[in-house]
Structure 1
Amino acid sequence: MRVSIVHRNSHAPKQLPSREATRRRILDGALKLFSQKGYLGATTKEIAREANISEMTLFRHFPTKEVLFESVLSTHSFLPALKEILPAIKGKPPEEALALIARKYLATLERRKDFIKILLSQSEFFPEKMHTIYHAFLSELFSTLAAYLREMQSEGILRQFDPMLGARAFLAMFFTYFLTKDILRFQGTEQKSTDTVIREYVGYFINGTLREYTAMAR
């Protein structure tokens, strides 16, 4: 009987991680260090070390630190979650749909609490280019929610109002709740459950935007 022996080559090159996997490690490492040291404190060399790559490899994926920060915002913020949830809430009553958006938004803010806290503390020292990046991100976030509100208007569910202002007002309510509860530790915010706050805040918003809403006589 003929026996074949296969010798494994111990010197065979290791399989390299995919480009997408490397990119993900860089983004995760950047989020971690930006959350600990802020944009101004974290260096690309430290981020590369956290991702277990060379700084040169980092720059192949993200040519500048600003581009890396912009990608962290677009990947780890509420924006991708909002884009994902909008098709799923299509056709749901506005109270239910907006409550789902609010719950997802607050959950994202809670997960990114350290990142948001240090971002707020350093924002006034950001170079102008960073403000431009952050404002562009916020504009896309508001525009995405505004598109949903505009669709509800076209279906006759919501009355006519500026959907961009409506989107900003809706998200601002919940960001203020998160800010006072989790960042400023304002006493009194813990007296109501998050579900209760979501229900009441959504109610405030809906009662001001439903077509059937009638203002109180002055």
Structure 2
Amino acid sequence: MHASACLHPWDFMREPSTADTRERILRAARATFGSRGFAGTTTKDIAKKAGVNEVTIFRHFKSKQALFASAAAEMLPLPDILERVSFDGDVPLDDMILHNVETVLEILKANKHLFMIIIGEGWRHPRLRRSMADSGIEMGVRFLSENLEGLMQKGCLRKMDPDIAARALIGMVQIYFLTRYLMSAKTPTAQEEEAYVKGVVSIFVSGMSPHQGVDSSE
């Protein structure tokens, strides 16, 4: 008689992998921080939601602040933005910029509550603020800068420091989102938003036309 391969009860009770545990903790942290904010959340709350011992959290993250920084960084919508914007040089420049501005604004609005938490906690925790800047804002600036530089090389945009051009465009979108969605009690109407977005596109495209001004990178 041949021995059969048997599954023992303890085969189903093996400890989850380190990666699985870390992801469970991050999911629980995102949900708890999102509903209670940083100050209103304890690591005990997160451990309970993740189904782990509180000590396990500190094996993966040095502190509640480190956990918040990791959770917030992974919640930032930058990957979604990078995937959905387009820099196809065959598309008219104003259509391209319009599509990208509308796309970014739509994603920012969908993540409004996340940004409210990040901004509120970021000013109280300088290290967290720097972490968010490095993992979100600066990465986005570099991405846009590289794509704008490519358009400059193709002659679609006038040549200048692409970092300045990127920060100018991002700034116009960010200040609108900040003042109209995070700090204002009155949400803009669809007509107001359309007018602003078209104005941003007009300003940027007119200012960056290859026939406008001189090469400021010299």
Q: Does the CA contact (< 8 Å) of 1:33 and 1:42 recur in 2?
A: yes
Shift of the alpha carbon at 1:148? 0.9
Aligned letter for 1:120?
I
Amino acid across the alignment from 2:134? A
Deviations 1:157-213 (A, max 9, x none): 111122222222212211222222222226583262544433332222111112123
- Structure 2 residue runs without a partner (length 5+): 1-5
1:122 aligns with 2:121: yes
Does 1:174 find its partner at 2:184?
A: no
Q: 1:132 aligns with which of 117, 122, 130?
A: 130
1:162 & 1:186 partners in 2: Cα distance? 37
**One-letter amino acid matched to 1:125:** R
Q: C-alpha separation between the residues in 1 aligned to 2:67 and 2:52? A: 15
For 1:143, give the aligned amino acid.
R
Q: 1:35-50 residue pairs with structure 2 within 5 A?
A: 35-50=34-49
Instruction: Provide the rounded CA distance (Å) in 2 between the counterparts of 1:205 and 1:30.
Output: 39
- Distance in 2 between residues matched to 1:194 and 1:16, nearest whole Å: 51
Deviations 1:100-141 (A, max 9, x none): 332332222222212212332333321x42233133232222
Distance in 2 (CA, whole Å) between partners of 1:20 and 1:89 is 35
Percent identity for Structure 1 against Structure 2: 26
Give 1:150's aligned residue: 149
Summarize the Cα distance change of 1:121–1:12 in structure 2 as closer, same or farther, 3 Å threshold: closer
Conserved 8 A contact 2:44-2:54: yes
- 1:143: how far off? 0.9
How far apart in 2 are the matches of 1:58 and 1:212?
57
Report the residue type matching 1:55 in the other structure. E
2:71 corresponding residue in structure 1: 72
> d(CA) in 2 for partners of 1:108 and 1:50?
28
1:200 aligns to 2:199 (yes or no): yes
- Residue type matched to 1:208 in 2? G
**1:136 corresponds to which letter in structure 2?**
D
| Corresponding residue number in structure 1 for 2:3 | none
Contact 1:180–1:189, Cα closer than 8 Å, also in 2: no
8 Å contact from structure 1 (residues 37, 118) kept in 2: no
Q: RMSD of the TM alignment (CA)?
A: 3.4
Q: 1:44-102, CA deviations, whole angstroms, 9 ceiling, x for partnerless residues?
A: 3322323333334434444444443343344221321233235x543452333333332
Name the CA shift for 1:13/1:78 in 2 (closer, same or farther; >3 Å): closer
* Counterpart-to-counterpart distance in 2, 1:188 and 1:97: 26
Hey, what does 2:158 align to over in structure 1? 159
Relative to the length of structure 2, the TM-score reads 0.75
Superposition TM-score, scaled by structure 1 size: 0.75
Distance 2:13 2:7 in 1: 13
Distance in 1, Cα, partners of 2:16 & 2:174: 38
8 Å CA contact retained: 2:77, 2:111: no
Q: Hey, what's the Cα distance between the residues in 2 that align with 1:98 and 1:85?
A: 13
